[in-house]
Structure 1
Amino acid sequence: MNIQEHSEFIKLNDYELYTKAWQPETADNDATLAPIILMHDSLGSVDLWRDFPAQLASVSGRKVIAYDRLGFGRSSANPDVLSTDFVYAEAQQGFKALLQHYSIQQFIVMGHSVGGGMAVVIATEYQEQCRGLITISAQYEVEELTLSGIREAKTGFAQPGQLERLAKYHGDKAQWVLDAWTETWLSPSFRQWNLEHYVGKVQCPSLIIHGELDEYGTTAQAQKLFSGIQGDTELEILEGLHHMPHKEQPALVTALICDFVNDLS
């Protein structure tokens, strides 16, 4: 299936957010279907989704939209240190600006890692508009495994040439992006962060995907999301996969998502 791609910048107060959309080019594509909106991870960006959004749009027949949060990717630099409530706040910041710009009335939200936590909050903040919730490798709370994985990554990025890997996608914002992940999550004030207040308010159908060997969160993270959500929920623990199952086994993950969204309007 041919996919039409379109990127643009949208306004968030005095800043710009980079967005990109993938639209299936088929005569039978139903334009009334809710688009899938992607929320990236702590070091992520639109470009770091690579070809996954195009694959998802092609197989699902739905429009897929992603954006770089403020401070990430091609979006404007964030002049502030990331606040400890950033997971909760994104629903009323960049995500709200995206909905308004595209005049989106109904959507499915999908987030990877911390983006999965944001997706949970979004599903509760926009209950009338959110038709479905998908999380991949999402954290429900801060585990010691999460912190040890971040400490190890921080050590790795301190090695010569490693920060340049981030700069390829975030430009001169790379150090800010790294600190926004490591320093926020490792700070004592973030230790009690969790999604307890939000999970029980999710009302839409939900799909929870988690790699069995995720190095940033045990399967208990997924189990707590699954047991906490009151609506129809599916849990997929993927054997042998890690924190990036959509990159490790894209066909498998895409198929799971498409089976889920096929039942949604």
Structure 2
Amino acid sequence: MPEISEKEHWIESPGGRLFAKSWTPREPGSPMPLILFHDSLGCVALWRQFPRLLAKALNRQVIAYDRLGFGHSDRRTDILSKDFVAVEAEQYVPLVCESLSINEFIVCGHSVGGGMAVWAGASLPRQCKAVITIAAQAFVEDRTLAGIKVAEKEFETPESMSRLTRYHGDKAEWVLHAWIDTWLAPAFADWSLDAGLLALRCPQLTIHGEHDEFGSLEHPRRIAGTHGECRVLPGIGHNPHRECPELLVEVIERWLSSPGSASA
């Protein structure tokens, strides 16, 4: 297995600095890195061992960054717009690419980060060569909202907020409300990934856990559509990168090694 070096990066944006981290094999087999997008409560640290495992298995650089307001990135106090998923891809991904001298890339996102990965592929078609989604939502579903309401109750306990603070510091309250308040807002009820999926042209892999508590199997079916590949992981919930990281890496590696998946 290739030796992996880790490096931290700071990326300037109009709203503040973004924290990023890269995992790079000593002799990468491809010059095309894979960029990770975290979920609604996530950050670089919460990917845990997954980026390193991925970099080793794929023998290519893996990059993850904390969105503005999350993890080590600078704080924000604004309310997320209804189109924040598309905005992340359109406004921040080019900054990451410019700062890290990235010309072409593959994207992989978890949960709402999967939607951002789709929009990165749709809005940057020349640079983005493949899209991978993990437990992504394609629309606002009752099951998604029910899962968020359960989580909202859980975060009323000091222990749950303490865990969130461990990763986001004094930004934890904003992170929590940016998730809950956005998704439960009546104005967000008709949000969907449809426009991004319609514009997407590159190869696409959709991965979903059989027992995902935040989304039924209708989500991966809709995201994969007629041209993407869909993989449902038996017995797995919403967090495959924590529940079965080795299996998840294997699924991604096999797909990227297959013909037509932009594995260059």
Distance 2:15 2:118 in 1: 27
1:219 counterpart (199, 211, 217): 217
Partner of 2:233: 238
Partner of 1:160: 158
Q: Describe the superposition over 1:162-194 as per-residue Cα deviations: whole angstroms up to 9, x where unpaired.
A: 211101000000000000000100000001000
Report deviation, 1:102.
1.2
AA of the residue aligned to 2:231: E
Distance 1:144 1:155 in 2: 17
Report deviation, 1:245.
1.2
Q: Which runs of 5+ in 2 are unaligned?
A: none
AA of the residue aligned to 1:10: I
> SS of the residue aligned with 2:199?
coil
Partner of 2:22: 21
Q: Describe the superposition over 1:84-104 as per-residue Cα deviations: whole angstroms up to 9, x where unpaired.
A: 211110012221210111121
> SS of the residue aligned with 2:246?
helix
Partner of 1:256: 251
Contact 2:90 2:119 in 1 (8 A): no
Q: Which runs of 5+ in 1 are unaligned?
A: none
My pick for the range that moved more, 146-155 or 123-132, is 123-132
Report deviation, 1:14.
4.8
Report deviation, 1:262.
2.4
Q: Say how many residue pairs are matched.
A: 259
Residue 111 of structure 2 is aligned to residue 113 of structure 1: yes
Partner of 2:204: 206
Distance 1:93 1:203 in 2: 20
Aligned residues: percent identity? 44
My pick for the range that moved more, 5-14 or 103-112, is 5-14
Distance 2:114 2:165 in 1: 24
My pick for the range that moved more, 245-254 or 168-177, is 245-254
Distance 1:95 1:105 in 2: 11
TM-score (norm 1): 0.95
Partner of 1:58: 56
Partner of 1:177: 175
2:67 counterpart (66, 69, 91): 69
AA of the residue aligned to 1:48: L
Runs of 4+ with deviation above 2 angstroms: none
TM-score (norm 2): 0.95
